[in-house]
Structure 1
Amino acid sequence: MRITFCTDLDKSVVVANCEKRGWVQVSPEDDWNIYWAGTQTCRSLFSVDSGYRMHDNQKDLLVKNIKRYRRDLEKEGNVLAERGDSKYLHLDFIPVTFVLPADYNMFVEEYRKAPQSTWIMKPCGRSQGSGIFLINKLSKLKRWSRESKSPFQQQLTKESYVISKYIDNPLLIGGKKFDLRLYVLVTSFRPLKAYQFRLGFCRFCTVKYDSSVAELDNMYVHLTNVSVQKHGVNASPSLTSTTANDRILKHKLMDNIFSIIVPPSGMPDVRWNKIPSQEALGDFELLIDEDLIHLHEDE
């Protein structure tokens, strides 16, 4: 069977990789199997009535759904909601996070438990590292509020942000911060059936990690986004490693990673839309902290 594709993006990497697989490019008016399209094209092509849905994975909605997921498991008395030292033992896969400006008072209460701690702010509706910055003082947050002309007292603001406790002890490779990008195809939500793509990739910072205040504004130290790091002086187009230790470590990680991607049976509806689409293709970005080394040494 001949696979056909079309795209409305002028990206040679998309066309080249599709053609490399023997796929044939056609126009949008032809019978295509795959359409690599921008957001606006998707909105015009697919509506709720057509049986397709667009997944708008905004950061604030993700945070709200995960919190609902935890609460539902607690109500059920599910073992996954077990706590220790006031922290989740099995659901601790995202840092403490709030949505601003809505959760500002709750954030301040949490911040005062550990003053001078570092937090990372991300605009809910943006991507590719745009608009992200770190803070370690409330005064910086208040200054940002004034500069954005969106006082926390107002209900309507131009842009919402999520603010998360910064993971300042990441696992490092060559002294540099990295994270994992994995791809998952969900073909059914009830029952849940998901496939993880065998190959993922690591996103690396181009500058060695430094948690000092002096480097707080250096995004080449803190953000692994390719769109940010490609502008760095030491940017590299590719980096691979296949040593025996890497393979062993990968297998030790897989159980934990898959439990995040595909939760156990009996998963409440809050993890997905009430009327989910038939299929969904998504990606996960996972940051591993240095505690992995200690776990590895204990085994």
Structure 2
Amino acid sequence: QDRPLPFPRSSHMQRQPQKKTEIKWKCLLANCIHEVLSTRQGWRETDRDDWDFIWADKDWIRMHFDECRAGLPPTTKVNHFRNHYELTRKDHMVKNLKRMINNLRREDRASEAAMYDFFPVTYALPMEYGVFVEDYKRQTDKPIWIAKP
């Protein structure tokens, strides 16, 4: 079961910040990120699991992050989050925006739901083909339709 990553605590729950002399980091990719991190003053690479910051690919996050997250302090930073595709894939992002609108309407918060009018009417084909055809038939003027594979 997916659990949300811990977010920073609100200001009234914050512990007093501790001065840290160095930041331990781990990079699982041999690329420019590794090169940049290795030249940062006050940053030290670690092979252990005591890192403050990790740069990992999304597959590593999906497979390993839950098992190591339990022992990490809330200040630990990661470059990806589980299920990132819920925002980074357009079809999933639209699905989540539509879900938010429907939830707000169900809660009688229509004015808040109306604030989500910033994205165009979108259909995920072939699943929503029937709805798309009905909306298309209802159009009286000559609308412009954009199809993306």
Q: Which residue of 1 aligns with 2:4?
A: none
Note the 1:110-149 alignment, pairs <5 A: 110-112=135-137, 113=139, 115=142, 117-121=144-148
AA at the equivalent of 1:5: W
Distance 1:46 1:30, change over 3 A: closer
Q: Which residue of 2 aligns with 1:32?
A: 51
Distance 1:5 1:50, change over 3 A: closer
Q: Distance in 1 between matches of 2:57 and 2:85?
A: 15
Distance 1:108 1:17, change over 3 A: farther
Please tell me whether residue 96 in structure 1 is matched to residue 121 in structure 2.
yes
Task: Quote the offset at 1:108 in angstroms.
Answer: 2.6
Note the 1:4-83 alignment, pairs <5 A: 4-12=24-32, 14-22=33-41, 23-27=43-47, 29=48, 31-47=50-66, 50-51=69-70, 54-58=82-86, 59=89, 60-78=91-109, 79-81=111-113
Size of the aligned set, in residue pairs, is: 113
Q: Distance in 1 between matches of 2:93 and 2:64?
A: 25
Q: Distance in 2 between matches of 1:43 and 1:30?
A: 17
Note if contact 2:25-2:52 (Cα within 8 Å) is conserved in structure 1. yes
**Higher helix residue share:** 2
Task: Quote the offset at 1:9 in angstroms.
Answer: 1.3
Task: Quote the offset at 1:38 in angstroms.
Answer: 1.0
Rg larger for = 2
Q: Which residue of 1 aligns with 2:16?
A: none
AA at the equivalent of 2:144: S
Task: Quote the offset at 1:65 in angstroms.
Answer: 2.1
Q: Distance in 2 between matches of 1:48 and 1:65?
A: 27
Give the unaligned 5+ runs of structure 1.
82-87, 122-132, 134-299
Task: Quote the offset at 1:24 in angstroms.
Answer: 1.7
Tell me the percent identity: 28
AA at the equivalent of 2:132: F
Distance 1:67 1:38, change over 3 A: same
